[in-house]
Amino acid sequence: MRETLGSLLGEAASMVSRAGFAEPRRLARRLVASVLDLTPTELLGYPEQALDERQTCRVRLALNRMAEREPLSRILGRREFWSMEFGLSPDTLDPRPETETLVEAVLRRVPDRRAPLRLLDLGTGTGCILLALLSELLAATGFGVDIAAGATMTARRNAAALGLVERAHFLVGDWGAALSAKFDIIVSNPPYIAGAGLADLPREVALYDPCLALDGGADGLGAYRSLVVDLPRMLEPGAVFACEVGLGQASAVVAMLQASGLPIEGCERDLAGTARCIVARADARAAQKVVGMRRLPV
């Protein structure tokens, strides 16, 4: 007897629930719809529709992977961020919704979105932060740096798929060490999990996100120490630096930036109320005129 869409959807919800994921019915619907390329109407409106063996096999293979706590985004190889779709690879972090806080924080500080700004994304991964900003800053160009060659390849593919390849450039490097140019905006979502905390990460993170994108050293702040060494020389007068921080790290990162001579402009919270993004501005009080940028009230 052939499997129906309704019976397979019920089986999927049960398996997802047993795997321990939250909202198993919703997640099961997303999985089945994505694997079979169905619209929500097609998925829920025709429960008696018979499926062939190939379709059933594809869904069950995906369910078996989810039973091992592999995230749906990894199974599908893509993740939505800033209403755009980004391809993933083993070398890239799976973008999180809270990282959109960083994008929002930067955009609020750009008075002219048509200015020819120069952007830099350190630890670019999928390129999601840089490409999200470029999609809003219509005359800007950007550079993404990552120590993993596989990540820069993935970011280039994402730029091409999103029609931004002419304004986005990616290179392999160790933070800002090899760069001599100056930028109007620098962003970063560095690894910030303390070494001792890596063992306590959820299985879906520990097994499927690359360690390089997670491990922030003994106290989780190693990457920030590397960043602040190069930031002052890479920021134009009045330029913005914004970085994501982990839970409880905001004050320590603020202190590092202030010690490097960068005045703090704000601390942004994500939708859960967690201090998620620190914003600094280089020599802001001394800058008289910067193309496309101006001093905004804190």
- Please choose, from the candidates 157, 107, 161, the residue with its C-alpha nearest in 3D space to the C-alpha of residue 129: 107
Domain ranges of the chain: 5-68, 77-281
The alpha-carbon radius of gyration of the chain (Å, integer) is 21
Report the CATH fold assignment for 77-281.
Rossmann fold (3.40.50)
Residue 5's region, left for phi above 0, alpha for psi from -120 to 50, else beta, is alpha
On the 0-12 / 13-18 / 19+ scale of CB atoms within 10 A, 285 is: exposed
- The 8-class DSSP code of residue 97 comes to G
Q: Digits of tens for pLDDT over the chain (298 positions)?
A: 578 889 999 999 998 998 888 898 999 999 999 999 998 788 888 788 888 899 999 999 999 999 899 999 999 999 999 999 999 999 999 999 999 999 999 999 999 999 999 999 999 999 999 999 999 999 999 999 999 999 999 999 999 999 999 999 999 999 998 899 999 999 999 999 999 999 999 999 999 999 999 999 999 999 999 999 999 999 999 999 999 999 999 999 999 999 999 999 999 999 999 999 999 999 755 433 333 333 333 2
